[in-house]
Amino acid sequence: MYDYDLLVVGSANADLVIDVERRPTAGETVLGGDLAVHPGGKGANQAVAAARLGARTALLGRVGDDGHGRLLLDSLRAAGVDTAGVLVGGAPTGVALITVDPSGDNSIVVSPGANGRLAPRDVRAAAPLVHACPVVSTQLEIPLETVVEVVRNLAPGSRFVLNPSPPRPLPSEVLAACDPLIVNEHEARVILDDARLGEDPEDWAHLLLAEGPRSVVVTLGAQGALVCDGSGARRVPSVKVDAVDTTGAGDAFTAALAWKLGSGAALAEAAAYAARVGAAAVTKRGAQESYPTAEEVGAL
């Protein structure tokens, strides 16, 4: 029996969000709406999304000893995330500067701050926590060597889920552990050699699978997702909703998928549920504040 359903190892950021009519080009200034400050970061977002769905969730991360760090700890605890693994201090809390356009699409610049100080030794020190979870999920707003250390410290039989965002080339040791590797088109193009890629997501999934992961999920926004493992590729539909803000929807998708896989669902079934969670998340503003409960997903 595990103590938790899911451990997320990853970032926590204060999201500084401004609505804009359009993004500025180089050298240009545009006026936007009022500044909003939300709890975010791909790791904290995943943890909050899973906890809100009902998963027993813990986060291993690092925030600064500052107001943004307290904002994040408050949000995590309010959602029911176990924050005993969230280290405090060493650098200011990570910050994400986000613009959201009228279609709900965003652009993000992240200053990692304390996330960049989450070190391999922090993973080794948290080995009992890592071993207390059947599924461990990470992203790339923390140092890659820390993600490698997570892979090296997994308990036998536990499952490793990676959303390589922001994307960078990955060592084969990490790729081989992924079950699944979860990417959008942009991430797929970075992980693979862009020149090899055509326009068919099924080809991307097969090329990614050939790099070593046990399974691959390609997210396709409003078009749903594509799941691929040794038994072949399958399309998973999305739910049609009116998008207000897509920020953090991918994190909610990953968290829901990871939790469902840990509770025994097949990959396509878990991805179909995750697509509903991601769809619900785009209907509200912000990242963590937009995440649905299981009841809200059921009503979608």
Query: Which residues contact ligand RIB (rule: CB under 6 A)?
Result: 11, 13, 15, 40-42, 45, 96, 108, 110, 141, 247-248, 250-251, 287
In angstroms, what is the minimal distance from the CB of 86 to ligand RIB? 15
In angstroms, what is the minimal distance from the CB of 133 to ligand RIB? 22
Tokens 């969000």 belong to which residue? 17
Nearer to ligand RIB, 185 or 203 (CB): 185
In angstroms, what is the minimal distance from the CB of 145 to ligand RIB? 19
Cα–Cα distance list, 169 to 162, 175, 187, 280 (Å): 13, 10, 10, 31
Tokens 């991307």 belong to which residue? 204
Cβ atoms of 259 and 15 closer than 8 Å: no
In angstroms, what is the minimal distance from the CB of 179 to ligand RIB? 21
Distance, in Å, from the CA atom of 36 to the CA atom of 33, rounded to the nearest integer, reads 9
Nearer to ligand RIB, 83 or 99 (CB): 99
In angstroms, what is the minimal distance from the CB of 144 to ligand RIB? 16
In angstroms, what is the minimal distance from the CB of 277 to ligand RIB? 14
Cβ atoms of 241 and 280 closer than 8 Å: yes
Nearer to ligand RIB, 220 or 265 (CB): 220
Distance, in Å, from the CA atom of 93 to the CA atom of 11, rounded to the nearest integer, reads 10
Residues marked active site are found at 251
Closest residue to ligand RIB using C-beta atoms: 40
Nearer to ligand RIB, 96 or 174 (CB): 96
Nearer to ligand RIB, 93 or 153 (CB): 93
Nearer to ligand RIB, 39 or 134 (CB): 39
Tokens 């995943």 belong to which residue? 46
Strand order in the sheet with 106-111: 36-40, 13-19, 94-100, 106-111
Distance, in Å, from the CA atom of 65 to the CA atom of 50, rounded to the nearest integer, reads 25
HEC letters along 198-240: CCCHHHHHHHHHCCCCCEEEEECHHHCEEEEECCEEEEECCCC
Three-state DSSP state, 118? coil
